[in-house]
Amino acid sequence: MTKFFFWSYPWDLEEEGIEVAIDRLGGDIGVDAVSVATTLPSISEFRARAFAQRRTVEHDAAAHFRPDATRYVNTRIRPIPSPWMKSRNPLEKIARYADKQGMKVRAWTNPCHGSAMAAKYKTVACIDVFGDINPTWMCPSNPDVREYVASLVEDLATNYPLDTIELDDMDFGSRAHSHKHLHAGVRPGMLETILLSWCFCPSCHQRARDSGVDVEAAAAAVAGHIGQWMLLKAPVHRDLDSLLASDDNLAAYNKMQTEAVTSLVRLARERTKTRLMVHHGTPWASGGVPPRAMEEVADGLIVRAPLPGRTHEPDFRYPYAYLAERTELALLCHPPYVKDGPALVSTVYQAAHTGCAAIGFWNYGIAPEPCLEWVRQAVRYARRESI
Q: What is the pLDDT of residues 238-277, one digit of tens each?
A: 888 999 999 999 999 999 999 999 999 999 999 999 999 9
Average pLDDT over residues 355-362: 92
pLDDT at 121 over 60: yes
Quote the CA–CA distance of 271 and 87 in Å, as a whole number: 27
Number of domains in the chain: 1
CATH number, domain with residue 311: 3.20.20.80
Confidence of residue 98 (pLDDT cuts 50, 70, 90): very high
- pLDDT, tens digit (0-9, with 9 covering 90-100), for 320-355: 444 567 889 999 999 999 999 999 999 999 888 888
Cβ-proximal residues to 27 (8 Å cutoff; 6+ apart), any chain? none
Give the model's pLDDT for residue 322.
44
Burial class (CB in 10 A: 0-12, 13-18, 19+), 181: exposed
Residue 159 one-letter amino acid: N
Mean pLDDT of the chain: 90
Give the model's pLDDT for residue 319.
44
Confidence of residue 19 (pLDDT cuts 50, 70, 90): very high
Can you point out the beta strands (E) in 22-155? 33-40, 43-46, 56-59, 62-63, 104-109, 125-127, 133-138
Confidence of residue 131 (pLDDT cuts 50, 70, 90): very high
Quote the CA–CA distance of 208 and 360 in Å, as a whole number: 37
Quote the CA–CA distance of 134 and 138 in Å, as a whole number: 8
Quote the CA–CA distance of 103 and 96 in Å, as a whole number: 10
Provide the percentage of residues in the chain whose pLDDT is more than 90: 76
Confidence of residue 291 (pLDDT cuts 50, 70, 90): confident
Domain assignment of residue 242, given as a range: 3-386
